Amino acid sequence: MGRGGSLYPPLVCPFPSAPFCSIMLSGALACWAPDLGRARSIEAGSAEPTPPRIGRVMSRIYVALDLETTGLDPEHDAIIEIGAVKFRDDEVLDTWSSLVRPPRPIPYKIQHLTGISQEEVDRAPPLRSLVGPLLRFVKDHPIVGHNVSFDLRFLNRQGLFLHNSAIDTFELAGILLPHAARYSLGRLAEELGISFPTRHRALEDALATKDLFLALLRSASQLPLSVIREINRLAARVDWPLRQVFRDLERDKARFAFAGSIGQQLLAKGALGGEGFLGPLPEEGRPLRPAPRKRPLDVDELAAMLEEGGAFAERFPGYEYRPQQVAMLRAVAEALNRGEHLLVEAATGVGKSMAYLIPAVHFAVQNGEHVVISTNTINLQDQLFRKDIPDLQRILPFEFKAALLKGRSNYICLRRLAALRHRGDLSPDEMRVLAKILVWLPSTVTGDRGELFLPTPQERAIWGLVASDPENCLAERCPYRRQGKCFFYRARRQAEGAHLIVVNHALLLSDVAVENRVLPEYRYLIVDEAHHLEDATTQQLSFAVDQGRIEWLL
Ligand code: SF4
């Protein structure tokens, strides 16, 4: 039963009379032959090992492995398909796959997800018959998988692969691709241009995992040697599964450090690119100077931008004119001109962001004033700052500055990071978070945690060890601040020079609580999603105490 095309020569089945052919693979097939009582793997074409093409990390033989199961719980669920790909660099040395007869029925949703039917697995061998061939295939090679601990939990229960090293492409991607939108195998494959036509089948998933792993290794090989060395120094005494990968990378980088121009060699050695792994930081702006006399907005001129045939219609194909949006823009502009309060109730789809951004930015620029915009959540802040404001910057004929300001704990504290790097007794979770931070630092200009992928509560708690924190801040005495490298103080300085300052309600209210010591002084404020402000105020400006706390205080 073939599935999809193959890059490899056609295979001749050695068991043509076998009643069941489990799967035909790209490059090899594994089938169950009841007369032989075992699964076989047959190598396609010439699978003679070829010399490694790129360095030590690529020269190892790995086995990418994937399972399909009846569910997520290894205690109660069972394996229904196993796929494995043995590879070195780009070369597939062999593949192995078989359906597995589970001791319980396959739930309908799993049949729907995988396309594997109950009838198919009823004709497949039980897992105990496949253990020997699978062990002989994998041997002691490192196992590569996406969320590999999931697959290994099922296999370890059968006593399989208890001592193989395991490399998780999910973990590696979280370190090497901090800006990926999502980290599922399918989404990463899409982002990296990896062909992945059939999903949720064991062999196809294993092949995609192999391609993802190779893409990640190539990405890792671009890291500065100084970063890789620091990761290895930190990992030296940590039982961290990715340690071997980074050790191999360091040896490869060190070998190739003498190739290329002098500049490339210095970069590879980490001699360029900034002390402490920081990338070049953007210039900080100068504080705004309010105009001596307020210049009012030309409301008709601003409204024309959103009218039919206006600047937005010309610039954005498919632009939809919305009279309610224009009415809101006029109301906001007039409120700014008159210095009045305004309350607007705008339905979803009105386009309220542009309706307030356009008058806000014109008013701020022509009067040298900050306009603070507060959103309910950090996600909305990011959307405004990364989507709507850049759209506006592209369309307006003048320059303006915008700053995103978040709560202090969102910014990394370089002094606390240095302390953690020198602590010496790191856990594997701490090691993983530090690796993420070290890879990300040369590329960040904000030091904002939102740019990192920290999916678990443990990782977010570890971030707390390196986050900017008033209790642990040396402020003016801090060498990082004196050198202009402190991300938190840089963000504040940038806000002082920004026309639009985008905050969230929590930060806005913290500023209220400490009498305007968080934000630069401002006189104009737009509260987006203001219906959340009451809840946010209750949360920010109240405190809770329980009996335990009172007893502790007493
Ligand atoms: S000034 Fe404070 S927050 Fe900034 S790096 Fe120094 S100690 Fe950390």
Centroid of ligand 1 to alpha carbon of 60 (angstroms) = 43
Tell me how far apart the alpha carbons of residues 178 and 176 are, in angstroms, rounded to a whole number: 6
> What DSSP string runs through 198-209?
S-S-HHHHHHHH
Q: Within this chain, do residues 53 and 34 fall inside the same structural domain, yes or no?
A: yes
Q: Within this chain, do residues 193 and 213 fall inside the same structural domain, yes or no?
A: yes
Using 50, 70 and 90 to split pLDDT, how confident is the model at 84?
Answer: very high
Q: Of 200, 220, 240, which closes a domain?
A: 220
Tell me how far apart the alpha carbons of residues 520 and 489 are, in angstroms, rounded to a whole number: 12
Asked if the structure places residue 150 within a domain, the reply is yes
490 lines ligand 1 (CB under 6 A): no
Looking at residue 533, what is its pLDDT? 93
Burial environment of residue 9 by CB neighbours within 10 A (0 to 12, 13 to 18, 19 or more): exposed
Mean pLDDT calculated for residue range 508-518: 88
Contacts of 522 (CB under 8 A, 6+ apart): 369, 370, 371, 372, 501
Flag whether pLDDT at 52 surpasses 80.
no
170 lines ligand 1 (CB under 6 A): no
Q: Within this chain, do residues 242 and 211 fall inside the same structural domain, yes or no?
A: no
Q: Give the sign of the dihedral formed by CA 385, CA 386, CA 387, CA 392.
A: positive
Q: Within this chain, do residues 123 and 244 fall inside the same structural domain, yes or no?
A: no
Flag whether pLDDT at 276 surpasses 60.
no
Q: Within this chain, do residues 266 and 170 fall inside the same structural domain, yes or no?
A: no
475 lines ligand 1 (CB under 6 A): yes
- Supply φ then ψ for residue 33, to 5 degrees: -115, 105
Q: Within this chain, do residues 76 and 190 fall inside the same structural domain, yes or no?
A: yes
SS3 375: strand
CA-nearest residue, atom 6 of ligand 1? 478
Asked if the structure places residue 11 within a domain, the reply is no
* Number of compact structural domains in the chain: 2
Using 50, 70 and 90 to split pLDDT, how confident is the model at 3?
Answer: very low
Tell me how far apart the alpha carbons of residues 351 and 233 are, in angstroms, rounded to a whole number: 51
C-alpha 104, offset from chain centre: 37
Tell me how far apart the alpha carbons of residues 427 and 425 are, in angstroms, rounded to a whole number: 7
Do the Cβ atoms of 145 and 166 come closer than 8 Å? yes
Asked if the structure places residue 494 within a domain, the reply is no
Tell me how far apart the alpha carbons of residues 58 and 412 are, in angstroms, rounded to a whole number: 34
Tokens of 327: 């009415």
Asked if the structure places residue 238 within a domain, the reply is yes
Q: Within this chain, do residues 84 and 158 fall inside the same structural domain, yes or no?
A: yes
Tokens of 486: 């402190």
Reported as a single tens digit per residue, the pLDDT across 120-157 is: 999 999 999 999 999 999 999 999 999 999 999 999 99
Do the Cβ atoms of 364 and 524 come closer than 8 Å? yes
Asked if the structure places residue 252 within a domain, the reply is yes
Tell me how far apart the alpha carbons of residues 235 and 133 are, in angstroms, rounded to a whole number: 35
User: CA nearest 312: which of 268, 354, 371?
Assistant: 354
Centroid of ligand 1 to alpha carbon of 438 (angstroms) = 17
Which ligand 1 atom is at minimum distance from the Cα of 478? 6
Tokens of 169: 């492409």
530 lines ligand 1 (CB under 6 A): no
Centroid of ligand 1 to alpha carbon of 465 (angstroms) = 13
Reported as a single tens digit per residue, the pLDDT across 425-466 is: 899 999 999 999 999 998 899 999 989 999 999 999 999 999
Do the Cβ atoms of 438 and 467 come closer than 8 Å? no
C-alpha 334, offset from chain centre: 42
Burial environment of residue 470 by CB neighbours within 10 A (0 to 12, 13 to 18, 19 or more): exposed
CA-nearest residue, atom 4 of ligand 1? 486
Flag whether pLDDT at 94 surpasses 70.
yes
Reported as a single tens digit per residue, the pLDDT across 316-342 is: 888 999 999 999 999 999 999 999 999
CA angle 259, 263, 268 (to 5 degrees): 60
User: CA nearest 172: which of 214, 204, 136, 206?
Assistant: 214
SS3 100: coil
CB atoms within 10 A of CB 255: 11
Asked if the structure places residue 1 within a domain, the reply is no
User: CA nearest 145: which of 69, 70, 62?
Assistant: 62
Which ligand 1 atom is at minimum distance from the Cα of 411? 3
Q: Report ipTM (2 d.p.).
A: 0.99
Asked if the structure places residue 205 within a domain, the reply is yes
Q: Within this chain, do residues 132 and 265 fall inside the same structural domain, yes or no?
A: no
Centroid of ligand 1 to alpha carbon of 497 (angstroms) = 21
Flag whether pLDDT at 15 surpasses 80.
no
Q: Within this chain, do residues 87 and 161 fall inside the same structural domain, yes or no?
A: yes
413 lines ligand 1 (CB under 6 A): yes
Looking at residue 169, what is its pLDDT? 98
Q: Which of 449, 486, 490 to mutate to test the pocket of ligand 1 (most atoms within 8 A of CB)?
A: 486
> What DSSP string runs through 421-445?
HTT----HHHHHHHHHHHHHGGG-S
Q: Within this chain, do residues 177 and 30 fall inside the same structural domain, yes or no?
A: yes
Burial environment of residue 167 by CB neighbours within 10 A (0 to 12, 13 to 18, 19 or more): buried
Q: Of 189, 220, 251, which closes a domain?
A: 220
Using 50, 70 and 90 to split pLDDT, how confident is the model at 542?
Answer: confident
415 lines ligand 1 (CB under 6 A): yes
CB atoms within 10 A of CB 502: 27
Listed range (21-35, 77-91, 184-198, 364-378) with the worst mean pLDDT? 21-35
468 lines ligand 1 (CB under 6 A): yes
CATH of the domain at 81: 3.30.420.10
CA-nearest residue, atom 8 of ligand 1? 413
Q: Within this chain, do residues 44 and 123 fall inside the same structural domain, yes or no?
A: yes
188 lines ligand 1 (CB under 6 A): no
Do the Cβ atoms of 480 and 415 come closer than 8 Å? yes
Asked if the structure places residue 263 within a domain, the reply is yes
177 lines ligand 1 (CB under 6 A): no
Domain that holds residue 234: 224-273
> What DSSP string runs through 156-172?
HTTT-SSSS-EEEHHHH
Q: Within this chain, do residues 178 and 194 fall inside the same structural domain, yes or no?
A: yes
